A and B are shown apart, each in its own frame.
Chain A
Amino acid sequence: SQKIEQNSEALNIQEGKTATLTCNYTNYSPAYLQWYRQDPGRGPVFLLLIRENEKEKRKERLKVTFDTTLKQSLFHITASQPADSATYLCALHGSSNTGKLIFGQGTTLQVKP
């Protein structure tokens, strides 16, 4: 069956370090993958989209990689700040052209000052 897995355990890091979050999937061939940030009591907020023919995408302190052979995406936040503390969700588009997103369960990041 189709499955998306993110680290269920919270990730705690020190301010200034690089945070790396993992998203693994099975039995999908996504055309592209998105990363969202969700703060408590709020809806997810779009961060980055990467297509299947792209290996890497960057936006300011954020970097996403997409390895369709390993079926894995890595999400990096460099020079992390306490304000980066949130839950990060990866989401896949399947073969459907409706745009329906399939989300992982999310990884909570805590950046300590």
Chain B
Amino acid sequence: GAGVSQSPRYKVAKRGQDVALRCDPISGHVSLFWYQQALGQGPEFLTYFQNEAQLDKSGLPSDRFFAERPEGSVSTLKIQRTQQEDSAVYLCASSSQAPDTQYFGPGTRLTVL
């Protein structure tokens, strides 16, 4: 079956632009996570959804970051007024329940110039 997919795989933005990153989780997975991974570092938690409810957004670095999952499946991470420090790989993961094994997508590499 299909795994977690993310799009786009690569995104280049000029500083100040808004970006939207999409995640398609494994069908039927209740839990969805977003992580940010800087070069040479492990992933860092951003936010968590259980179905359409955003239950934990403690990792979002600023109010420029916003995530949604309106129908409990596809999720979008939006970054407004991007800054150079937002450059990173953004990973999405899903699991059938929390806590449980998480299945990661390939990530979106965001480069802010």
Q: B62 in the interface, Cβ–Cβ < 8 Å?
A: no
Do the beta carbons of A104 and B98 come within 8 Å of each other?
no
Q: Are B91 and A43 in contact, CB atoms less than 8 angstroms apart?
A: yes
Q: Which residues of B contact A4 (CB under 8 A)?
A: 42
Assign chain A's interface to a size class: 20 to 34
List the interface of chain B (C-beta within 8 A of A): 4, 31, 33, 35, 40-45, 48, 50, 55-56, 59, 91, 93, 95, 97-107
Task: For residue A82, give the distance in angstroms from its CB to the closest CB of chain B.
Answer: 22
Q: Are B104 and A96 interface neighbours, CB within 8 A? A: no
Which one, B40, B45, B98, B102, contacts A102 given CB within 8 A?
B45
**CB neighbours of A91 from chain B (8 A):** 42
How far apart are the CA atoms of A96 and B58 in the complex, in Å? 12
- List the A side residues contacting B98 at CB < 8 Å: 97-99
Interface: A28 (CB within 8 A): no
Question: Which residues does A use to contact B, with CB under 8 Å?
Answer: 4, 31-32, 34, 36, 41-46, 49, 89, 91, 93, 96-106
Distance in Å from the Cβ of A6 to the closest Cβ of chain B? Answer: 8
Residues of B within 8 A of A89 (CB): 42-43
B45: chain A residues within 8 A (beta carbon)? 100-102
Identify B56's interface contact among A34, A41, A44, A100, CB under 8 A.
A100
Given contacts A100-B48, A103-B44, contact A43 B106 (CB under 8 A): yes
